[in-house]
Amino acid sequence: MELLLKRAYLPASPTDGYRVLVDRLWPRGLSRQDARLDEWNKDLAPSTELRQWYGHDPARWATFGERYLSELRASDACQAFLSRVEQEERVTLVYAARDEAHCHPLVLRAYLEELRHSADLRSES
């Protein structure tokens, strides 16, 4: 499975595959029809408290990433999500953040790939 990232405000494409919004808040000004989502998974998003603390401040990016990763590891949401979409060829994590270099889906994708890799290793042994 290929994991892609895409801003919610970019047009949906058939090549996106399974589209999942990974934000807690709905993207401003975007209609549900235009979003063309297969799923809205708030459980994969950072907590409200962490999101508000971060405030999209690049100076807090490293600490945000560590805290968000801790939240992901403490939850079974990622494992449950991967189990649901494991047969998909391509999954696009859709998000609203403007700063594509400092957005939570980067951390989420890395963690999902880590989980998939560790599951692959377990199945090989």
Query: Do the beta carbons of residue 63 and residue 99 sit within 8 Å?
Result: no
pLDDT tens digits, one per residue of 50-109: 999 999 999 999 999 999 999 999 999 999 999 999 999 999 999 999 999 999 999 999
Total structural domains within the chain: 1
Give residue 117's pLDDT band: very low, low, confident or very high (50, 70, 90): confident
Rounded Cα distance between 100 and 123, Å, is 34
Which residue range forms the structural domain that includes residue 108? 2-124
pLDDT value, residue 125: 57
SS3 of 72-101: the string is HHCCCHHHHHHHHHCCCCEEEEEECCCCCC
Question: Residue 1's beta-bridge partner residues?
Answer: none
Confidence of residue 120 (pLDDT cuts 50, 70, 90): low
Which pLDDT score is estimated for 26? Answer: 97
- DSSP letter assigned to residue 11: P
The pLDDT of residue 122 is above 80: no
Q: What's the pLDDT at 27?
A: 97
Tell me the pLDDT tens digit for each residue of 1-59: 999 999 999 999 999 999 999 999 999 999 999 999 999 999 999 999 999 999 999 99
Buried b (16+ CB within 10 A) or exposed e, 68-79: beebbeeeeebe
